[in-house]
Amino acid sequence: MSDPKAQCAICKDAFPVDHFRFLPSCGHGFHLECLQHWPKRRNRYSCATCRRETSEEPIQIYLTFADPPTGDAEGPQSQLGVAAGAEGLERSDTESSAESLKRAARKIRKEAKAAVDDERASTSLLDAVQRLERRIQPVFVDLARERDEKGVLQDEITSLKSRLAELEPMCSRISSLQDELHTAKMNYEKATVECMRERKRRKSLDQTLDRYKRALDKKDGELMAARASLETLNNETRALRTKLKVLAKKEGRQPRQTQDPDDSLQVERPHGATDDVDRPRKKRRTSTSPKKRPSD
Taking CA 80 as the corner, what is the angle to CA 79 and CA 83, rounded to the nearest 5 degrees? 85
Crossing angle for the helix pair 74-91 and 98-114, to the nearest 10 degrees: 150
One-letter amino acid at 256 equals R
Q: pLDDT above 90 covers what percent of the chain?
A: 24
Q: Quick one: average pLDDT of 114-138?
A: 68
**In this predicted model, what pLDDT tens digit does every residue of 240-264 receive, in sequence order?**
999 998 998 888 755 555 555 555 5
Q: How far apart are CA 186 and CA 194, in angstroms?
A: 12
Q: What's the whole-number mean pLDDT along residues 131-135?
A: 70
Query: For 75-123, how does the pLDDT look when each residue is reduced to its tens digit (9 = 90+)?
Result: 444 444 545 555 555 554 444 555 566 666 666 667 666 665 666 666 7
* CB contact at 8 A, 30 and 9: yes
Residue 4 pLDDT level (bands cut at 50, 70, 90): confident
* Burial of 272 (C-beta count, 10 Å sphere; 0-12/13-18/19+): exposed
End-to-end CA distance of the chain: 225
Q: Contact, 99 vs 92, CB < 8 A? A: no
- Average the pLDDT over 209-223 and give the result: 92
For 150-174, the pLDDT digits (tens) are 889 988 999 999 888 888 888 888 9
Long-range contacts of 108-114 (CB under 8 A, 24+ apart): 108/12, 108/132, 111/78, 111/81, 111/82, 111/85, 112/82, 114/78
Q: What is the pLDDT of residue 263?
A: 52
Q: How far apart are CA 253 and CA 59, in angstroms?
A: 164
Our measurement of the distance from residue 181's CA atom to the centroid of its chain's CA atoms, rounded to an integer in Å, reads 10
Close Cβ partners of 265 (under 8 Å, ≥ 6 residues apart): 237
For position 12, what pLDDT does the model report? 82
Query: What is the structure's pLDDT at 256?
Result: 55
Q: What is the pLDDT of residue 130?
A: 72
Of 187, 97, 194, whose CA–CA distance to 136 is shortest? 97
pLDDT of the residue at 141: 77
Cα–Cα distance measured from residue 109 to residue 89, given in angstroms and rounded to the nearest whole number: 13
Sign of the dihedral through C-alpha 194, 197, 201, 206: positive
**Mean per-residue pLDDT for 2-6?**
74
Residue scoring higher pLDDT (225 or 55): 225
| Spatial distance between the Cα atoms of 84 and 9, rounded to a whole number of angstroms | 8
- pLDDT for 103: 67
- Say if residue 46's pLDDT is above 90: no
Contact 59, 22 (CB under 8 A): yes
What pLDDT score was predicted for residue 99? 59
pLDDT at 166: 87
Buried b (16+ CB within 10 A) or exposed e, 196-205: eeeeeeeeee
* Model confidence band, residue 214 (pLDDT cutoffs 50, 70, 90): very high
At 73 the pLDDT is: 41
